[in-house]
Amino acid sequence: MPAWLAEQARHRPRATALRHKRLGQWEQLSWHSLAEKVEALAAGLAARDFGPGDALLLVSQPREEALCLSLAAQWRGGVAVPVEPSVSDQTLGRIVRHLTPLFTFADDDQQVDRLLALSQWVIDANPRGLRPHPDANVVEYRTLASPDKKVTASVRPDHDAFIFYRDAAGHGIEEQRITHATLIREARLVAEKEHLHPADDAFAARAFATAAQARYLVAPWLLTGFRLNFPESLETRDNDRRELAPTLVAGTRETYGRVARLVDARLPGTNSVRRRLLDGLSDRRSSWLLRTAAWWLVARPLREVIGFRRTHAALVAGAALDDDAARLFKALRIDVRTWPDDGQWQRLPEPILSARQAADVQGQPA
């Protein structure tokens, strides 16, 4: 992955690699600037003895800082471990004890405090203008980078690039590891079949939360060189996507289901003219005149509302869309294609707890 980042920086230095929204304004990084930032962060990690085989745990919403730190860890031959901020304290504790990461990353004070109780070094994405965290074990993101130092990439294709965790109901916690070689091989396949190119705009509402996002968004981005866009927050993602009108959207069944519910909420009742026109687009028996009217009066405006006006690659990773969502996107002439999320998941061994730890887990006095 770092080799492809360096390749894009050499051949397309001024092209936009990354855009992220801050306080309502879009900020951007060129491929050259992004590569410089990642290398400076890698040098900062190296200065604190982060190297091949080490893990960097990221408890964060989709953010530019999380992506840059992931690439910096991989530059040093380490592995990035993205975790949803909503993960329970018990699950987070098990992951940290299993991995023993050298660094963790948090994007707000609540997550910083959670991680301080579990690990030594916590990188804080402290917004500019706020006072540094008082704990000496907290490293500010903006002071981590060492721009004056150069560090050679220490990564091989067979190194793990990402590790993902999930709660398997009734089966404990499961782990999936993905190597650089696997990501690049699958990215080539996605780029070829979906006709991805450098002029594409991709929208990363959930950039690292799942293995599928690494496979079908992050790796193809580095390989192809298109623009990757981050929303300001999960609360603004629908408005930000409408503003951008991305050409590539990669999500899960739940992602598309949420967008389908957004469309349903904007339409009037089941017997309204607009809803009947939209239903007519899904019916092959509808006349050409009806289908044309339905497209221009209903479907095309709805595509703009949900930010799919320019989308030519709509990918769903894992389980396919349910019938209602599939019918809706077909009516909107959005061809949502299913890509597998069939990585190997391994169950973590159950921890051996002391009597006091077991009592704490069960909520009983030791």
In tens, the pLDDT along 218-247 reads: 999 999 999 999 888 878 888 899 898 999
Q: For residues 17-44, give the mean pLDDT.
A: 93
Question: Is there a single domain that holds both residue 39 and residue 148?
Answer: yes
Question: Is there a single domain that holds both residue 146 and residue 284?
Answer: no
249 CB contacts (<8 Å, ≥6 apart)?
202, 203, 241, 308, 311, 313, 314, 315
In tens, the pLDDT along 188-201 reads: 999 999 999 999 99
In tens, the pLDDT along 166-175 reads: 887 767 899 9
**Do residues 246 and 314 lie in contact, with contact meaning Cβ atoms separated by under 8 Å?**
no
Query: Does the pLDDT of residue 203 top 70, yes or no?
Result: yes
In tens, the pLDDT along 334-351 reads: 999 999 877 788 888 876
In tens, the pLDDT along 292-329 reads: 887 888 889 889 989 999 999 999 988 899 998 998 89
DSSP state of 86: T
Please report whether residue 49 resides in a domain.
yes
Domain count, the chain: 2
Compute the mean pLDDT over every residue in the chain, rounded to the nearest whole number. Answer: 86
Please report whether residue 245 resides in a domain.
no
- Structural domain boundaries, residue 63: 2-194
User: Which one of 194, 213, 243 terminates a domain?
Assistant: 194
Tokens of 351: 């921890």
127 CB contacts (<8 Å, ≥6 apart)?
none
Question: Is there a single domain that holds both residue 260 and residue 168?
Answer: no
pTM to 2 decimal places: 0.88
